[in-house]
């Protein structure tokens, strides 16, 4: 259980504790049913927003969609207030990441009651999809997800520098293409040329803009080969970090260092012998 949620354990009454166990955990049958219902409602809500954006569908089923939306939002609102009521430290929940997401899941609907329905509000409603991470709070999945997030976090500084290199490369080469193509053929201004350079170096290659002059094609080939080759760099960074996290780490009894290799016989930090049985 996340550290923050320790502050959320209610003390007072047994029914609060029971509700807490159902809502925040998934180890009782009621808890699992709750999680499943929550998942169904989130997916249903997401599909609803998608359908509302499709003109033909919205025309035929508009009132039906709004009706379902009312029900879902009311259910989410009831759940939100129950969560607030049963936790001890209410501020901790309301201002936590999940708490804010939960709040923004119900807010747009009420706003749209008073103000006209706008595309923007419906997109906020899509943020409900982030609530799905609550349900994935099963130990196993969180371990694996956490492992991926850890690997990404450890390599983040190298990735920032890598992205900085890329940005500088696309700015310079994009500007060169602006001069080479003479501001025509789609290369109308430098920001557009930078957009083209990103499309090319990431090997996406829409084709909405592509070089026409011979020199332009030559420069674009250099950019493509760069993008093609340096895919290796972020891969190498992340893979190395993952390897580190994956190798069984031996814990030293004396100093607690957990980053010893599998084949280490002596702790690298304090020199203490490490037993061969992990």
Give the Cβ contact number of residue 239 at 10 Å.
13
Q: Please report how close the Cβ of residue 153 comes to a copy of itself at its closest, in angstroms.
A: 13
Determine, following the binding rule CB under 8 A, whether residue 138 of this chain makes contact with a copy of itself: no
- Contact, 173 vs 223, CB < 8 A? yes
Q: Please report how close the Cβ of residue 17 comes to a copy of itself at its closest, in angstroms.
A: 31
Of 202, 194, 7, nearest to 91 (Cα)? 7
Of 213, 175, 215, nearest to 197 (Cα)? 175
Q: Which stretch binds a copy of itself (CB under 8 A): 30-38, 79-87, 99-107, 164-172?
A: 164-172
Per CB under 8 A, the list member of 1, 172, 215, 253 interacting with a copy of itself is 172
Q: Please report how close the Cβ of residue 34 comes to a copy of itself at its closest, in angstroms.
A: 20
- Contact, 276 vs 263, CB < 8 A? no
Alpha carbon 118 to chain centroid, angstroms: 25
Instruction: Count residues binding a copy of itself (CB under 8 A).
Output: 107
Integer Cα distance of 28 and 20 in angstroms = 11
Determine, following the binding rule CB under 8 A, whether residue 208 of this chain makes contact with a copy of itself: yes
Q: Please report how close the Cβ of residue 28 comes to a copy of itself at its closest, in angstroms.
A: 24
Integer Cα distance of 26 and 57 in angstroms = 36
Determine, following the binding rule CB under 8 A, whether residue 175 of this chain makes contact with a copy of itself: yes
Q: Please report how close the Cβ of residue 63 comes to a copy of itself at its closest, in angstroms.
A: 19
Determine, following the binding rule CB under 8 A, whether residue 110 of this chain makes contact with a copy of itself: no
Determine, following the binding rule CB under 8 A, whether residue 41 of this chain makes contact with a copy of itself: no
| Residue whose structure tokens are 């259980």 | 1
Cβ nearer to a copy of itself, comparing 15 with 115? 115
């Amino acid at each position: 259980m996340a550290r923050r949620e320790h502050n959320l354990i209610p003390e007072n009454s047994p029914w609060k504790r029971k509700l807490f166990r159902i809502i925040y955990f998934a180890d009782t049958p009621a808890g699992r049913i709750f999680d499943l219902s929550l998942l169904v409602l989130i997916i249903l809500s997401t599909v609803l927003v998608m359908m509302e954006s499709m003109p033909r569908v919205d025309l035929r089923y508009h009132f039906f969609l709004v009706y379902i939306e009312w029900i879902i939002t009311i259910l989410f609102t009831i759940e939100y207030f129950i969560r607030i009521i049963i936790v001890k430290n209410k501020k901790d929940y309301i201002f936590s990441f999940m708490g804010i997401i939960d709040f923004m899941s119900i807010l747009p609907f009420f706003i749209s009651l008073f103000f006209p329905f706008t595309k923007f509000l419906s997109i906020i409603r899509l943020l409900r999809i982030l609530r799905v991470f609550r349900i994935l709070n099963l130990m196993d999945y969180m371990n694996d997800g956490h492992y991926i997030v850890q690997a990404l976090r450890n390599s983040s500084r190298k990735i920032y520098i890598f992205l900085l290199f890329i940005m500088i490369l696309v700015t310079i080469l994009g500007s060169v293409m602006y001069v080479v193509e003479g501001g025509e053929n789609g290369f109308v201004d430098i920001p557009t040329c930078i957009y083209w350079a990103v499309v090319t170096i990431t090997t996406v290659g829409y084709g909405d803009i592509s070089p026409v002059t011979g020199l332009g094609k030559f420069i674009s080939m250099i950019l493509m080969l760069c993008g093609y080759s340096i895919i290796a760099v972020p891969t190498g960074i992340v893979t190395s970090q993952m390897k580190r996290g994956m190798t069984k780490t031996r814990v030293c009894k004396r100093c607690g260092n957990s980053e010893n290799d599998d084949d280490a016989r002596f702790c690298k930090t304090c020199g203490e012998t490490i037993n061969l049985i992990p």
